[in-house]
C-alpha cells in the first residue's frame, strides 16, 4: 500500500472509537474496560484525572475530526479540544467541546498531570503540522461556550514547534498559571529561528524573552512539531524535511516501546 502511494493507516468508518481505562494497580490487561466514544479520535492526550471517588474519569484532548488525513494530507487535518467524561459504574459517556478552534499539542502544569486542572495551552494549527499561534483554555468554563481565554498569533509566515510549559517554581505560589510557555519559532521568509518565552498569566501571552538562534543552525532549524517532543526537538535541527523527521522519530519511539514491553498484543484487544 505504501509503495503504491497509499497511507500507513487504514480507516474503518464502520468502527466506533473506543477509550480503554486500565486501573492504576491492575495486574494485567484483562482488567481494562472499554468505552465507545462516538466521533472522538484521540491522538495526543492533554490531561486526565478521576472524580467522584474514582467513579468518573475526565479526559481532555484534541479530537481529530478528519482522522482519514492524518498521514496522507496533514494540511487538511482539523482538530478541536474536547472534554470526555466516563462513568465507570454506569458506562455513561459524554463529550463536550471546549474550543472549536483548530488546536493541537496541548500542555498543562506538570504538577497537575493526572489531577484536576484549570488551564491548558495549545498550539493553533495553521495548517498542520505547522503551528501559527498559542492559545490558553480555561477548563472551568466547560459547558458555557468556547473556553478560550486568550490567543497569541505569530506574525504572518512565522510558525512554531509544539509549546512547553515551564514552571516559575514547583508550587506556583498556589496559582496554576504562574509559569511560562516556551517554544521555537521560525520565520519562513528570513529563515530566522527564535526561542521565545511567553508569560502564561498575561492576558495576551506577552513575550518575556525572544532569543535569536545562532546563525550556523538557522538554515537547518525546522521547528515544526514532531512527536515525541524530546526526540523531535533534537531531530528537527538535523533533518530539514518535516515528514522524514517525523518518520524517524516514530520508528525510534516504536522500538523503544517494543523493547520496554509497552505494547499489548493485538489478539489481547477484544473484538468490537
**78 close to 63: Cβ distance less than 8 angstroms:** no
Full-model pTM: 0.74
From the list 15, 82, 72, the residue with the least C-alpha distance to 43 is: 82
Tell me the three cell numbers of residue 151: 490567543
Q: How far apart are CA 35 and CA 17, in angstroms?
A: 8
Angle value at C-alpha 168, between 164 and 169, nearest 5 degrees: 120
Residue 157 lies in a domain: yes
Residue 266 lies in a domain: no
Residue 44 lies in a domain: yes
Res. 139 pLDDT band, cuts 50 70 90: very high
152 is annotated as contributing to ligand binding: no
Q: What is the mean pLDDT of residues 43-53?
A: 88
**230 close to 213: Cβ distance less than 8 angstroms:** no
Residue 56 lies in a domain: yes
How many structural domains is the chain composed of? 1
Residue-wise pLDDT for 223-237, tens only, equals 454 444 444 444 454
pLDDT > 90: percent of the chain: 19
Residue 5 lies in a domain: no
Residue 240 lies in a domain: no
Residue 255 lies in a domain: no
Q: How far apart are CA 88 and CA 19, in angstroms?
A: 12
Indicate if the pLDDT at residue 106 is higher than 60. yes
Angle value at C-alpha 247, between 244 and 253, nearest 5 degrees: 145
Q: How far apart are CA 44 and CA 49, in angstroms?
A: 15
**Residue-number span of the structural domain to which 115 is assigned:** 18-225
Res. 174 pLDDT band, cuts 50 70 90: low
**150 close to 135: Cβ distance less than 8 angstroms:** yes
Q: How far apart are CA 76 and CA 109, in angstroms?
A: 30
pLDDT at 95: 92
Residue-wise pLDDT for 57-103, tens only, equals 999 999 887 766 565 666 666 788 999 999 999 999 999 999 988 88
Residue 4 lies in a domain: no
Amino acid at each position: 500500500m505504501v509503495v503504491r502511494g497509499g497511507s500507513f493507516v487504514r480507516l474503518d468508518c464502520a468502527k466506533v472509537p473506543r477509550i480503554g481505562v486500565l486501573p492504576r494497580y491492575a495486574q494485567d490487561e484483562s482488567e481494562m474496560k472499554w468505552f465507545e466514544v462516538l466521533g472522538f479520535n484521540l491522538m495526543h492526550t492533554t490531561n486526565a484525572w478521576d472524580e467522584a471517588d474514582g467513579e468518573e474519569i475526565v479526559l481532555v484532548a484534541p479530537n481529530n475530526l478528519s482522522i482519514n488525513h492524518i498521514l496522507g494530507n496533514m494540511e487538511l487535518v482539523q482538530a478541536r479540544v474536547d472534554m470526555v467524561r466516563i462513568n465507570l459504574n454506569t458506562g455513561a459517556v459524554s463529550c463536550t467541546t471546549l474550543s472549536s478552534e483548530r488546536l493541537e499539542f496541548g500542555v498543562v502544569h506538570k504538577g497537575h498531570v493526572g489531577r484536576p486542572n484549570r488551564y491548558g495551552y495549545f498550539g493553533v494549527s495553521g495548517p498542520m503540522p505547522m503551528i501559527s499561534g498559542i492559545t490558553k483554555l480555561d477548563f472551568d468554563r466547560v459547558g458555557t461556550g468556547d473556553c478560550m481565554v486568550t490567543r497569541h498569533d505569530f506574525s504572518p509566515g512565522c510558525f512554531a514547534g509544539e509549546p512547553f510549559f515551564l514552571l516559575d517554581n514547583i508550587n506556583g505560589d498556589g496559582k496554576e498559571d504562574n509559569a511560562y510557555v516556551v517554544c521555537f519559532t521560525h520565520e519562513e521568509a528570513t529563515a530566522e529561528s527564535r526561542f521565545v518565552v511567553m508569560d502564561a498569566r498575561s492576558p495576551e501571552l506577552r513575550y518575556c524573552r525572544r532569543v535569536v538562534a545562532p546563525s550556523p543552525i538557522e538554515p537547518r532549524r525546522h521547528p515544526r512539531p514532531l512527536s515525541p517532543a524530546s526526540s523531535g526537538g533534537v531531530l528537527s535541527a538535523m533533518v530539514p524535511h518535516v515528514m522524514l523527521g517525523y518518520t524517524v522519530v516514530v520508528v525510534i519511539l516504536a522500538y523503544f516501546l517494543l523493547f520496554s514491553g509497552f505494547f499489548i498484543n493485538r489478539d489481547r484487544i477484544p473484538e468490537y
